[in-house]
Amino acid sequence: MKSIRLKTITIACVVGWTLVSAAVFAAPDARSRNLTASCAACHGTNGHSVNGTPVLAAMDKKMFVIQMKDFKSGTRPATVMHQHAKGYSDEEFEKMAEFFAAQHR
């Protein structure tokens, strides 16, 4: 009984450590955070839209980048997003995507 408990604790610790390290390594930097901060007026704090606009929090990184590139090129028609997308570089789309992907729903 005692050894099973110990084993459970060990497993829990290992799992816990893995989660913590994953969170640390996936943590977006301040640059990513600052770039996305302007998006909040329409898409909510950290991408948590409270109504109407798409929720960007936890959006798949690849999906975010593709959509921004499509808005930028005009491949995907938009009401407002094309104006913003043209103002950022592809590298900045990657940074923004990192930040949103790291947010929890």
Partner 1 sequence: MSLDRRDFMKLTAAGIVIAAFPGCATSSGELVRKKVQRVVIVGGGFGGATAAKYIRMWSDNKIEVVLVERRTKFVSCPMSNTVLGGSRTIGDLTRNYDTLKSKYGIIIVNGEVTAVDPQKQAVMLANGHLSYDRLIIAPGVDFMFDQIEGFSADISANSIPHAWKAGDQTVLLRKQLESMRDGGVFAISVPKMPYRCPPGPYERACQVAHYLKSNKPKSKVLILDANPDIVSKKGLFNAAWKDLYPGMVEYRADAAVKKVDASTRIATTDFEDVKVDVLNVIPPMKAGAVAGMAGVVGTDNRWCPVDFLSYESTLQKNIHVIGDSVSAALPKSGHMATSQAKICAAAIIELMGGSQPDPDPAIANTCYSMVSGSEAMHVANVYRFDREKMAMISAPGGGVSDHRSEVEGTLANYWLENILSDVLL
**Footprint of partner 1 on this chain (CB under 8 A)?**
30-31, 33-35, 37-45, 49-53, 72, 79-80, 82-88, 92
CB of 46 to partner 1, least distance (A): 9
User: How many Cβ atoms sit within 10 Å of the Cβ of residue 43?
Assistant: 20
Nearer to partner 1 among residue 5 and residue 87 (C-beta): 87
CB of 88 to partner 1, least distance (A): 6
Structural tokens at position 45: 């704090």
- The kind and range of the H/E element at 1 are none
Residue with tokens 């990657």: 94
Asked if residue 50 lies in contact with residue 62, where contact means CB atoms within 8 angstroms, the answer is no
- The kind and range of the H/E element at 51 are none
CB of 39 to partner 1, least distance (A): 7
Nearer to partner 1 among residue 10 and residue 38 (C-beta): 38
Residue with tokens 């959509």: 67
CB of 94 to partner 1, least distance (A): 14
